[in-house]
């Protein structure tokens, strides 16, 4: 079953009196029990995508086209009052910095218990019991005795465990993890990612894992969406992407291997960087950095299916039959 389907989503920003598309025709889906990674350099649209799904776009931005379907319901036009409920109960969220999700003046236990009372209607004592069970599930040692602790009394890794307990408290359909381990040291990173894998294996939750780190993609995702300049440029299983990337941008990313854990903003194999939003070209947004750019690339490339029904797609004129010839004319 599909837990999330994004269909031709366009998110538009008003910048200096002009509309700019921060996301164009973004389409993909996340199945039950699946981890879909969204990967790309900073500025590629990953966080804009997460904010579009969660209804947390800044005032200058709006979804101008397309759909966000959670389960079987379109939510892209829901008012904030509805989205607030959906975010608490049906979509769990984990951000890079755990303190953005935690309130420093309340105990961690009360913060985990709150959504259980608000969304699931548990009594105070039931919520406390369930919150402690959740703290145990995310492997916070001596959970019962830490119920009354405050966020500042936890280490960064333990705080992220608290956020995960909070995110999964109401058994969401979808978990959005936006760079969940970027702020943590490598050992703790691995523990947190392993924990997310385990939690997901135990339930039907789908996970959207937003990361700039290809090692995390390789180790923890089932499928990958590669983004560039607000476009989905490639969608593939992890295996297909690492074996046979089709888009010149994805190829360049993978050419940086084996130094996979290096920040993508420092990639030496692709000169240049994602242009600022207001300067993105109308056609292929990778055109200025692409070694294969042709005249036709000034037009938005279509999405082409590669291989045999593995859902491997690429948005690039190189893969369009006769695309090069269209450029000759
Ligand atoms: Fe390069 Fe053209 Fe493909 Fe864009 S569409 S990635 S410019 S070949
Ligand atoms: Mg980001």
Q: What is the pTM of this model?
A: 0.91
Asked whether 173 and 90 are in contact (CB, 8 A), the reply is yes
**Ligand 1 lined by 290 (C-beta under 6 Å):** yes
Q: Which ligand is nearest to the CA of 250?
A: 1
Residue whose token pair is 């994805």: 250
Distance CA 161, CA 206 (A): 18
Residue 77: is the preceding peptide bond cis (ω within 30°)? no
Residue 234 Cα to ligand 1 middle (Å): 12
Nearest to 8 by CA among 50, 69, 61: 69
**Ligand 1 lined by 246 (C-beta under 6 Å):** no
**Ligand 1 lined by 317 (C-beta under 6 Å):** yes
Which of 247, 272, 298, 318 to probe ligand 1 with, by most ligand atoms within 8 A of CB? Answer: 318
pLDDT tens for the chain, 329 residues: list them. Answer: 999 999 999 999 998 888 999 999 999 999 999 999 999 888 889 989 999 999 999 999 999 999 999 999 999 999 999 999 999 899 999 988 888 889 999 999 999 999 999 999 999 999 999 999 999 999 999 999 999 999 999 999 999 999 999 999 999 999 999 988 888 888 888 899 999 998 888 878 999 999 988 989 999 999 999 999 999 999 999 999 999 999 999 998 888 765 545 555 455 456 777 778 888 889 999 999 999 999 999 999 999 999 776 799 999 999 998 766 554 43
| Alpha carbon separation from 129 to 111, 113, 134, 136 (Å, rounded) | 13, 9, 9, 11
Residue 78 Cα to ligand 2 middle (Å): 24
Residue 128 Cα to ligand 2 middle (Å): 34
Domains (range + CATH), the chain: 2-90+170-328 (3.40.50.300)
Displacement of CA 288 from its chain's centroid (Å): 26
**Ligand 1 lined by 316 (C-beta under 6 Å):** yes
Structure tokens at 163: 């956020």
Q: Which ligand is nearest to the CA of 51?
A: 2
| DSSP secondary structure of 64-126 | EEEEEEETTEE-TT--HHHHHHHHHHTEEEE-SSGGGTS-TTS-HHHHHHHHHHHTT---HHH
Return the ligand 1 atom nearest residue 233 CA.
6
Q: How high is the ipTM of this complex?
A: 0.94
Distance CA 297, CA 295 (A): 5
Return the ligand 1 atom nearest residue 249 CA.
6
Q: Which ligand is nearest to the CA of 44?
A: 2
Structure tokens at 71: 């389960």
CA-nearest residue for atom 4, ligand 1, is 284
Residue 95 Cα to ligand 2 middle (Å): 9
Structure tokens at 294: 């042709």
Strand partners, 304: 314
Structure tokens at 113: 């218990």
At residue 328, the pLDDT reads: 42
**Ligand 1 lined by 286 (C-beta under 6 Å):** yes
Return the ligand 1 atom nearest residue 296 CA.
2
Task: Convert 148-186 to b/e letters by CB count within 10 Å (16 or more is b).
Answer: ebebeebebbbbbbbbbbbbbbbebbbbbbbbbbbbbee
**Ligand 1 lined by 292 (C-beta under 6 Å):** yes
Compute how many other C-beta atoms are within 10 angstroms of the C-beta atom of residue 31: 16
3-state secondary structure of 325: helix
Residue 324 Cα to ligand 2 middle (Å): 34
| Alpha carbon separation from 243 to 149, 239, 303, 328 (Å, rounded) | 47, 6, 20, 31
* Residues in contact with 90: Cβ distance below 8 Å, sequence separation at least 6, in sequence order: 70, 71, 170, 172, 173, 174
Return the ligand 1 atom nearest residue 248 CA.
6
End-to-end CA distance of the chain: 46
Q: Which ligand is nearest to the CA of 229?
A: 1
Residue 179 Cα to ligand 2 middle (Å): 7
């Amino acid at each position: 079953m599909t837990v999330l389907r994004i269909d031709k989503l366009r998110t538009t920003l008003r910048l200096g009196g002009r509309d700019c598309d921060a996301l164009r025709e973004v389409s993909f889906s996340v199945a039950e029990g699946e981890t879909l990674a969204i990967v790309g350099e900073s500025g590629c649209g990953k966080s804009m995508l997460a904010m579009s799904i969660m209804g947390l776009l800044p005032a200058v931005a709006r979804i101008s086209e397309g759909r966000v379907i959670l389960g079987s319901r379109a939510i892209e036009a829901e008012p904030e009052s509805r989205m607030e409920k959906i975010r608490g109960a049906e979509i769990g969220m984990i951000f890079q910095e755990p303190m953005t999700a935690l309130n420093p003046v309340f105990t961690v236990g009360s913060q985990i218990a709150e959504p259980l009372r608000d969304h699931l209607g548990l009594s105070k004592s039931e919520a406390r019991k369930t919150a402690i069970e959740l703290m145990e599930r995310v492997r916070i040692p001596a959970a019962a005795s830490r119920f009354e602790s405050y966020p500042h009394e936890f280490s960064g890794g333990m705080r992220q465990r608290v956020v995960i307990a909070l995110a999964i408290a109401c058994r969401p359909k979808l978990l959005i993890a936006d760079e969940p381990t970027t702020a943590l040291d490598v050992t703790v990173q691995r523990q947190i990612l392993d924990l997310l894998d385990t939690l997901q294996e135990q339930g039907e939750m789908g996970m959207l894992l937003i990361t700039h780190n290809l090692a995390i993609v390789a180790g923890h995702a089932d499928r990958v969406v590669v983004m560039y300049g607000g476009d989905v440029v490639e969608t593939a299983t992890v295996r297909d992407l690492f074996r046979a990337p089709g888009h010149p941008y994805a190829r360049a990313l993978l050419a940086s291997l084996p130094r996979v854990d290096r920040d993508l903003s420092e990639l030496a194999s692709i000169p240049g960087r994602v242009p600022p939003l207001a300067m993105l070209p109308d056609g292929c947004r990778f055109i200025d950095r692409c070694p294969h750019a042709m005249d036709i690339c000034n037009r938005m490339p279509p999405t082409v299916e590669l291989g045999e029904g593995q859902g491997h797609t690429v948005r690039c004129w190189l893969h369009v039959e006769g695309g090069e010839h269209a450029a000759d004319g």
